[in-house]
Amino acid sequence: MSESHPHTMRLQRFLARAGVASRRGSEAIMTAGRVTVNGRVATELGTKVDTDLDVVEVDGKRVVWGDTPVYLMLHKPAGFITTMSDPQGRRCVAELVPTERYPGLFPVGRLDYDTTGLLLFTTDGDLAQALLHPSRHVAKRYVALVDGVMTDAELEPLRQGIMLDDGPCKPAPSRIVSARAARRIWSEPAPPHSSVVEIELSEGRKNQVKRMLGRVHHPVLRLHRPAFGPLELGQLKPGTWRCLTEEEIGRLRAAADVREPYTSEEGTR
Ligand code: URA
Q: Residue 260 gets which letter from DSSP?
A: S
Please check whether residue 89 lies inside any domain of the structure. Answer: no
Total structural domains within the chain: 2
The predicted model gives 228-243 an average pLDDT of: 96
Please check whether residue 193 lies inside any domain of the structure. Answer: yes
Please check whether residue 120 lies inside any domain of the structure. Answer: no
In 24-68, at which residue ranges do the beta strands (DSSP E only) sit?
35-37, 40-41, 48-50, 56-58, 61-62
Please check whether residue 3 lies inside any domain of the structure. Answer: no
Angle at 260 between CA 257 and CA 266, to 5 degrees: 65
Helix ranges, 59-118 (H): none
Model confidence at 103, in pLDDT bands (50, 70, 90)? confident
> Ligand 1 mean position to 202 CA, how many Å?
12
Please check whether residue 43 lies inside any domain of the structure. Answer: yes
Percent of the chain past pLDDT 70, that is, above it, reads: 92
Our answer to whether residue 166 is catalytic in this structure is no
Phi then psi for 246, rounded to 5 degrees?
Answer: -55, -40
Q: Do residues 146 and 194 touch, judged by C-beta distance below 8 A? A: yes
> Ligand 1 mean position to 94 CA, how many Å?
19
Model confidence at 66, in pLDDT bands (50, 70, 90)? low
Residues 6+ apart with CB under 8 A from 126: 13, 16, 17, 23, 258, 262
Which residue's CA is the nearest one to ligand 1's atom 4?
207
Query: Is residue 111 in contact with ligand 1, taking CB distance under 6 Å?
Result: yes
Query: Is residue 82 in contact with ligand 1, taking CB distance under 6 Å?
Result: no
Mapped onto helix, strand or coil, the DSSP state of residue 266 is helix
- Structural domain of 37: 8-67+260-267
Question: In CATH, what number is assigned to the domain containing residue 202?
Answer: 3.30.70.1560
Question: In CATH, what number is assigned to the domain containing residue 33?
Answer: 3.10.290.10
- Asked whether the predicted pLDDT for residue 228 surpasses 70, the reply is yes
Kindly report the pTM of this predicted structure.
Answer: 0.76
Burial class (CB in 10 A: 0-12, 13-18, 19+), 64: exposed
Quick one: pLDDT at residue 22? 73
Please check whether residue 154 lies inside any domain of the structure. Answer: yes
Please check whether residue 90 lies inside any domain of the structure. Answer: no
Please check whether residue 47 lies inside any domain of the structure. Answer: yes
Query: Is residue 26 in contact with ligand 1, taking CB distance under 6 Å?
Result: no
